[in-house]
Amino acid sequence: MYIYTLLDTLVWIACIIAIIYIAYRVFAWRQGNEGITILVKRRTPFVVEDISFDQVVLTTDIPFVNKGKQYGTIMDMFPRHLLPQEQFDNVQIHSWLTDANKERHDGYWEALVYKQRKGGTIRLRVILIGKNGNVRKDVVGFPDMPIDIYHQVVGREEYRISKTRITLTAEELEVAMRK
């Protein structure tokens, strides 16, 4: 008889723990999480920031917003340009991201916290270095180049890494180089 009473008590304790856990998960779900979104369609066109005989520095500003219900922290953000040498080998490419309001030139992303419904602007720099010495001649025939932006974000839940893609088109590069 004591065993049945003990088992009955253990089952009730397990049920209470399960109910408390489910209530906590519903509460956390209703609280929401961050929702950092990079607004690719609202980015500015690439412009020439600096040009010399052998290299050109292009920049674009990309807005983002925290659409979530909680604060969000962008812990890391970096670009990855995708132009294989089999496709185009006349330039060497370097790229990095920085917060447009707190520019850094060392390639380091400083972690930033954003309130719900607030955002900012990131600046993407792409440096094209001509392999033959004359960057204007070396970029002739430059194809569309996808650039993936990876960002590590954390809010109330575990961090996640997301990827957003923008494209430096051949036409956009040509227009930027003419100015």
- Give per-residue pLDDT as tens, 77-93: 999 999 888 888 899 99
Query: What percent of the chain clears pLDDT 90, i.e. is strictly above it?
Result: 50
| Domain harbouring 97, CATH code | 2.60.40.10
Residue 104 domain boundaries: 36-178
Q: Do 112 and 42 have their domain in common?
A: yes
Q: Do 46 and 115 have their domain in common?
A: yes
103-143 residue pLDDT tens: 888 888 888 888 888 889 999 999 999 888 888 888 899 99
**pLDDT mean across residues, the chain:** 89
Q: Do 46 and 27 have their domain in common?
A: no
Distance CA 176, CA 173 (A): 5
Which range is least confidently modeled, 16-25, 32-41, 72-81? Answer: 32-41
- Measured in residues, the chain has a length of 179
**Does the pTM of the predicted model rise above 0.85?**
no
Q: Do 93 and 164 have their domain in common?
A: yes
Q: Do 66 and 128 have their domain in common?
A: yes
Which pLDDT score, from 0 to 100, does residue 80 have? 94
Our count of domains for the chain comes to 2
Q: Do 51 and 132 have their domain in common?
A: yes
Cα-only R_g, the chain:
25
